[in-house]
Structure 1
Amino acid sequence: MIRKSYLAYLKKAITEQGLLRATKYPFRYLGTYLGYKLNKSVSGPIQGTLCITYNCNLRCEMCDLPQRHQSFKEDGKSPYKFAEWKKIIKSFADIGTSGMAISGGEPFLNKDLFPIIREIKKQKMVCQMTTNGWFIDEVSGRELIETGIDTITISIDGSDPELHDKIRGISGSFEKALKAVRTLVLLRNEMKANFKINISTVFGKSNYKNIDKIIDITKNAGADCIGFIPVHTIAPEVNKDLSLLTILETEEIKEVISSLITKSKEDNYIETSESYLNMFYDFFGGKPLPMSCLAGFTTLIIDCYGDIFPCFSFYEMKKSWGNLKEFNDLNEFWKSHSVELSRSEIKECRECFWNCQVETNLLYKIP
């Protein structure tokens, strides 16, 4: 069973582009598989991600990006302007990327957010953005929808202010996130727009007993679906205790996972695949990822200073594969010998169970 959002993207592509043009996606899938086997860049990444800022208004317990933003600022580093993002987006399109994700930090803290989304859509790529929802109101929500964005993902980690705000580090963040969902639902109906409103929930010791309530409250707010990712503490400045479980917590989490898998079979609101949810047992049991990784084949991330990463985990761990300034363009990087060497090494990587990467790996099921 594959991730439900992938099927939704394919359905939308067929609707908007026609069946003939949408056939390019299976060919890209095959190209990636062939590239993995040959360790060559036969096709571009399926998904590119632009981390357009490290800045964030929240202080989440599992994230150290705001500290990095401050460090870069003190070092006098200048983040990319729109003109540079425009070239990067065009380069992703040129190497055959199907979809782009926008992340951060909090994307709304980059004043070029809307032009960046419009440029992605101009290049005929699917566009998804993850936000904490704080800055979405009727005015900004309307402008966001008018960019043509395909999916807006809002992070919600609790079913009440006490829990969510504790995890996210700032009072009022729960109410802002829920209000953002409701505002987008109202605007979508009013504008007759075609985009998805997704919820992303980090699953861990802080909130595992709260999962059913999170599902209910976000569903009632009007979101289209919810996805889960187990809490990772791989970023250098994050409290590692967040992933340390007692024997009792481990057993209780297994029960919650089992219940979640059952629900996912019965309710399309849960967009996380059953195959990925089953891997949560391994994650919380301290076992490594039980499959090969295709990061650097299927995915590629560029941050606001030009540093390039194969996946979100390497981004979190500050393990860059290089910087764009070292190459003439993204295509040269993608086909470089140094990247081929890095790809051969990452096949054996078992560092994470990050949802966007593992769900893509599951499309190929390479042991």
Structure 2
Amino acid sequence: MEMSSVSAPITKYLTAKAVSQKIPLSGIFELTPLCNMNCRMCYVRMNREEQEKIAPLGTVEQWLKVGKEARDSGMLYLLFTGGEPFLRKDFREIYQGLYDQGIIIEINSNGTLIDEQTVAWLKEVPPQRINITLYGASDVTYGRLCRNPKGFTQVSRAIRLLKEARINVRLNCSVTPYNVDDLEDIFAFGRREDIPVHAVSYMYPPVRRDASSVGVNDRFSPEEAAYHDARIKAYSLGDEKFLEWADRNKNILPEMNDDICGEMKAEGVRCHAGRSSFWITWNGCMVPCGMFRGEEEHNVFREGFTENWKRVLEETARIRLAPECGVCAQRDLCKSCAAMEITENGKFGNIPEYRCQMVKAMPDAIKKVKQEILEERRKCNE
């Protein structure tokens, strides 16, 4: 869980200490799988009937009890997510109860339900940040991807209300075949509103929503994802800085080949998941990462926080990743992780091939974007 508004040295120090002492420094509470939109690539979204067949939603009292136990165990940072958290009529009670405990809170939201009344109470008890996913730059795109033909109008209004209230906002963007034509306009929107945009073109297979979707999602080919990742870099930096970056990093990837150098040894989890952070699903299952499928027999509402945190620590420590990835020259760029292995392969220990192919396509993707920028400049100068 990223807390960029806290200074990086402090965050790194606290996280390193938390990992070494097995402290759950940061947590994610997934309050609901329900959402007022129905995005094509979503990994968790359910309707009410589907949700009720599995379990009831956690109550205010249950979430506040777990939150207190987590705080007492060392949790400092908390992210609320869903589904759409603001869809819960009791969200304010949950938020206020944990805010009053001194926890640093962020909220993930699609933004479409945030109105003047919502902003008024958030202004009184402001979160550290609200992360709004911007799925497009028009209502047409929202209709195509999210099945909400008024989505852009709703979210752009919410963003301006939050800005007027001086509530910190960041824009996230999941780039898919259904909204890729809006990518440049999404970054332009961010610049106009003076809000940073964090976009990604890699989409995890939604195994939590559908167990049969291992390795499958409504997403780009690996090569297309690499190209749009390079495009994201260009829009983030601006053309001039991207060209400088591309020239400075001509050898961003070592020579691609099938030879693996060094002794292969399976590594454990490298990120913070299950080591200093945790995720609690809407029905009370604690998992290291939200991409993992939880097991109902391990329920934090029934068993409490402490026992489940111990279990997650033990289970995470037993995970071993693909040994080839541990000695791959591209590992720092690839950032292949346990979540990719389990969603792409259905198990740990094997290379997530989609991600591997995407990374191998990056050099050509960067060259292509560079050539497109230079060609556009040439045409403008004619």
Q: Same fold (TM over 0.5)?
A: yes
Correspondent of 1:206 among 147, 159, 178: 178
Pair 1:162–1:339, CA change in 2 (3 A)? same
Q: Give the equivalent residue in structure 2 for 1:28.
A: 14
Note if contact 1:121-1:148 (Cα within 8 Å) is conserved in structure 2: no
How much does 1:325 deviate? 4.6
How much does 1:62 deviate? 0.9
Correspondent of 1:219 among 184, 191, 196: 191
Structure 2 SS opposite 1:120: helix
How much does 1:79 deviate? 1.8
How much does 1:140 deviate? 1.6
After superposition, give the CA deviation of every residue in 1:119-152 in whole Å (9 maximum; x if it has no partner): 2222222111011112111112111222231111
Note if contact 2:132-2:172 (Cα within 8 Å) is conserved in structure 1: yes
Q: Give the equivalent residue in structure 1 for 2:319.
A: 345
Q: Return the alpha-carbon distance in structure 2 between the equivalents of residues 257 and 187 of structure 1.
A: 29
After superposition, give the CA deviation of every residue in 1:274-300 in whole Å (9 maximum; x if it has no partner): xxxx99xx9xxxxxx998343111321
RMSD: 3.6
Q: Return the alpha-carbon distance in structure 2 between the equivalents of residues 227 and 264 of structure 1.
A: 17
After superposition, give the CA deviation of every residue in 1:207-245 in whole Å (9 maximum; x if it has no partner): 33432210111332x353221233222334479352242
Structure 1 SS opposite 2:74: coil
Q: Give the equivalent residue in structure 2 for 1:37.
A: none
Q: Return the alpha-carbon distance in structure 1 between the equivalents of residues 225 and 172 of structure 2.
A: 22
Pair 1:9–1:28, CA change in 2 (3 A)? closer
Q: Return the alpha-carbon distance in structure 1 between the equivalents of residues 70 and 218 of structure 2.
A: 36
Q: Return the alpha-carbon distance in structure 2 between the equivalents of residues 290 and 264 of structure 1.
A: 38
How high is the sequence identity, in percent, across the aligned residues? 19
Pair 1:126–1:213, CA change in 2 (3 A)? same
Structure 2 SS opposite 1:212: helix
Q: Give the equivalent residue in structure 2 for 1:271.
A: none
- Structure 1 portions without partners, runs of 5+: 12-21, 35-41, 189-194, 268-277, 283-288, 355-367
Amino acid at match of 1:61: R
Amino acid at match of 1:51: E
Pair 1:30–1:74, CA change in 2 (3 A)? closer
Aligned: 1:8 with 2:15: no
Q: Return the alpha-carbon distance in structure 2 between the equivalents of residues 88 and 103 of structure 1.
A: 16
Q: Give the equivalent residue in structure 1 for 2:70.
A: 92
The equivalences for 1:218-367 within 5 A come to 218-220=190-192, 222=193, 224-229=195-200, 230-235=202-207, 236-237=209-210, 240=216, 242-245=218-221, 249=224, 252-253=227-228, 255-260=230-235, 262-263=237-238, 292-314=270-292, 317-318=293-294, 322-325=298-301, 327=303, 329-336=304-311, 339-345=313-319, 350-352=338-340
Q: Give the equivalent residue in structure 1 for 2:139.
A: 161
Note if contact 1:107-1:131 (Cα within 8 Å) is conserved in structure 2: yes
Structure 1 SS opposite 2:339: coil
Higher-Rg structure is 2
Q: Return the alpha-carbon distance in structure 2 between the equivalents of residues 335 and 158 of structure 1.
A: 41
Structure 1 SS opposite 2:169: strand
Q: Give the equivalent residue in structure 2 for 1:361.
A: none
- Structure 2 portions without partners, runs of 5+: 243-251, 257-266, 323-336, 343-382
The equivalences for 1:32-71 within 5 A come to 32-34=18-20, 42-63=21-42, 65-67=44-46, 69-71=48-50
Q: Give the equivalent residue in structure 1 for 2:163.
A: 185
Q: Give the equivalent residue in structure 2 for 1:15.
A: none
Q: TM-score, length-normalised on structure 1?
A: 0.71
Q: Return the alpha-carbon distance in structure 1 between the equivalents of residues 229 and 57 of structure 2.
A: 42
Pair 1:263–1:44, CA change in 2 (3 A)? farther
